[in-house]
Amino acid sequence: MLSSPRGPQLYSPRTKTAASAPAGNDQSLATPVPPEPRFSTPRTNSNPRGSRFWLSAWWPVAVGIGVIAVESTKYFGADHTSGPLRRIFQALFGPVSDAVWETTHHLIRKSGHFLGYGALGLAWLRAWWMTLPHARFLFVAELALLSTALVASCDEWHQSFLPNRTSSPFDVLLDCCGALFMQCVVYFYLRLFYGRLLHDRS
């Protein structure tokens, strides 16, 4: 029986694999090839600003301006709203005198100015916030307030041509106060619960 002059040799699985592999693969075995990344191509914007985006951003503004335009007609003058509002008020709180109702009706209408234009100011704020994603909150709020003031001024100017409506710059100021109040509410809400969002937009 013939034996090897160097004695018995022990082969590990790693040695067998290296010895049995072709010579051309020595380098690939010595340096493992890293796996390919899961995403080998750069991501693209999957949500471009198409018609759906603009509709989503601006339809509340369009609806708000439409409501203001309808409210600005002669059919929503004080002589037309007094009767229906008084019936609703008296159904809830009981009969009131003419003098008390005159003051109450005036306050209801002014509250409608404040709240209605406050809601319109929020619609403007949302639309500009979505349209200008890199703008600061203060700049967006200024645009929204300016837009609200423009609509309020057009509203009062239109009412100056109607015989049963009155036009007053104080109503424009009241409308802007409503929009500013709602914007402050949104700002403090975001600052309290979404401070990082405001920080990223500052």
Interval 47-90: pLDDT, tens: 568 999 999 999 999 999 999 999 999 999 999 999 999 999 99
In a domain, 91, yes or no: yes
* pTM for this entry: 0.75
In a domain, 29, yes or no: no
Token pair listed for 93: 């709180």
- Which residues constitute the domain of residue 136? 59-200
160-171 pLDDT tens trace? 999 999 999 999
137-156 pLDDT tens trace? 999 999 999 999 999 999 99
In a domain, 42, yes or no: no
Say if residue 197's pLDDT is above 90: no
Total count of domains within the chain: 1
Whole-number Å distance between alpha carbons of 50 and 46: 11
How confident is the prediction for the chain on average, in pLDDT? 84
Closest by CA to 153, choosing from 141, 169, 164, is 169
